[in-house]
Every structure is written in structure tokens, then in C-alpha cells.
Structure 1
Amino acid sequence: MWDRIKHKFEKFPARMAVARKIVELGLKVGENGKIYCGNVEISDVALAKSSGVDRRTIKATVNVILQDEQLSAIFRNMHPAGALLKNIANNLGFGVVEIEAHAGNPGILAKSTELISLEGISIRQAHADDPELEEHPRLTLITEKPVKGELINEFLKIPGVKRVSIY
């Protein structure tokens, strides 16, 4: 997907910024040229401000997307992922394990969830950053209750894991 998007927008960094923001937020491009978060229409001005571009760049980006069959199929079917509970986990009595890893290492999610399950703790949410969108991708696990800090060393033994935070 990113190769196709990069190819289409490589000469237009502002349009690329808009396409990234649309993907990052899980926004959808409607056949009518409007942008939506679920079924809520997002104004071009609001998206432009958030992307650091002018509103005409939003229209130009949407036009390119709708004129390309592959891009149109991708962007017309985007859907927001839902709320990540990380910022309110403490208020809810949940735990958070945040793992920074080298992109492309298989098994990090599987081994991390195994470590947590061996402690008898269930996972409420798992969110992995896209390495194409984030310079330092993170795996965020929201747990039913806080995880013991002693597990940090176990997480660090997983191949590809660079850093772990538990809170």
C-alpha cells in the first residue's frame, strides 16, 4: 500500500502529508470527494490545519486518490480503529505495556502477550504502530490490571525489542 501511495505523491510532499494523516487517523475518502471519520464529515479546513497544509492541498490529494483505482479502493474503505485506552488506562485501573521494537521482527506481539498471559492477566487492547508511519514504532498493550515491573527484563529478551515501559 505505502509503495503505491509514495509513488503517487513522491513529487508532492504536502499531498503525501495529507495522505499520511488520512491513514493515521483512519479517515475515509467518500466517492463524493468528502472526507469522513466513520460517518462524520471532516472539513477540509480542519484536516488542512492538522496536516500543516492549505485546504486546496486537501482537494488536490482527494482528486488524485479518487482518480486512481487502487488508491480509491484503499481510501474509500478506511475505518477508524477506535479509541486507544492508553491515556486513560490508569483512571480505569488498567495497565499499559509499551514496547519499542525494530520493525519487521516477527513474534514480538506473540511473545509479549504470552508473557502477560503467564502472569494470569488478560489483555484489553493491543495496538501496533505502522513502521511506515512512525519512526519509532511501538506496540502498546492495555492489560486488565497493571503488569509487574520485573517483567521488563523478560520483554527485553524478545528478539527485536529495543525498549519497554510499564505503567
Structure 2
Amino acid sequence: MWEEIDTKFKKYPARMAVAQKMIELGLKVDKNKKIYCDNLKISDAALAKAAKVDRRVIKSTIETIIKDKELSNIFENITPAGTLLKNIAKNLGLGVIEIEVGDDNEGILAAASALISSKNISIRQAYASDTELDDNPVLTIITEDFVPGDLISEFLKIPGVIRVSIY
């Protein structure tokens, strides 16, 4: 997906910033050139502010997307992922594990899940930031119970794990 988007927008860094922000937030474009988060309409001005671009860049980005078959197929079908529980986990009595990963990150979710499961702790949610968008990608796992801090050393043994925070 990113190769396709990069190819279409590489000459237009501001448009690329808009496309990245749209994907990050789960925003889609409809055939009427309107931007939505699920069924909530998003103003051009609000997206421009979030992407730190001029509002006119939003219009030109949408035009580019609508005119291009591959891009429109991507951006017309985006669905937001829902609420990330990380910031409210403590209020809900849930645990949080943040695992910073390196370039070699295959199998980290499976290994981390197995480790958590071995302690009879259920996973409520898992979210991985996009390695193409983030310089320091993080796997965030929300658990039904707090995870004991002594597991940090076990997480650090997983190949590709750089840093672990448990709270």
C-alpha cells in the first residue's frame, strides 16, 4: 500500500502528509469528494490543521485520489479501527504493555501473546503502529489484568524487541 501511495505523491510532500494523516486517523474519501471518519464528515479545514498543511492541499489531494483508480480504491474503503484503550486503561483497571520494535519485527506479536498467555492473562486489545509511518514503531497490548513488571526481561528476550514499558 505505501509503495503505491508514495509513488503517486512523492513529488508532493504536502499531499503525502495529508494521505498519511488520513490513514493514521482512518479517514476515507467518498465519490462526492467529502472526507469521513466512519459516517462523521470531517471539514477540509480540520484535516488541514491536523496535517499541518494549507486547506487548498486537502482539495488537491482529494482530487488526486478520486482521479486515480488505485488510490480511490484505498481511500474509499478505509475504516477507522476504533478506540485505543491505552490512555484510559488505568481508569478501567487494565494493564498496558508497550513494546518498541526494530526493523526485524516478525513474530513479535505472537511471541508477546504467548508470554502473556503463559501467565493466564487475557489480551483485550493489541495495536501496532505502522513501521512505514513511525520512526520508532510500537506494539501496544492492553490486558485484562496488570502485567507483573518482572516480565520485562522476558519480553526483552524476544528477537526484534528494543524496549518494553509495562504500566
TM-score by length of 1: 0.98
Tell me the secondary structure at the aligned position of residue 78 of structure 2: coil
Could you say which residue in structure 1 is the equivalent of 2:144?
144
The number of residue pairs the alignment matches comes to 167
Q: Which runs of 5+ in 1 are unaligned?
A: none
Preserved contact between residue 33 and residue 62 of structure 1 (Cα < 8 Å): yes
**How far, CA to CA, are the matches of 1:68 and 1:115 in structure 2?**
44
Please give the residue correspondences for 1:1-167 in structure 2 after superposition, counting only pairs within 5 Å: 1-167=1-167
TM-score by length of 2: 0.98
**How far, CA to CA, are the matches of 2:36 and 2:122 in structure 1?**
33
Runs (4+) of structure 1 exceeding 4 A deviation are none
Amino acid at match of 1:128: A
Preserved contact between residue 95 and residue 144 of structure 1 (Cα < 8 Å): yes
Amino acid at match of 2:12: F
Displacement of 1:104 in angstroms is: 4.3
**How far, CA to CA, are the matches of 1:7 and 1:117 in structure 2?**
41
RMSD after superposition: 0.7
Percent sequence identity is 63
Q: Deviations over 1:36-60 (max 9, x none)?
A: 0000100000000111111110000
Tell me the secondary structure at the aligned position of residue 36 of structure 1: strand
Displacement of 1:102 in angstroms is: 1.1
Amino acid at match of 1:50: A
**How far, CA to CA, are the matches of 2:164 and 2:60 in structure 1?**
41
Q: Which runs of 5+ in 2 are unaligned?
A: none
**How far, CA to CA, are the matches of 1:21 and 1:62 in structure 2?**
13
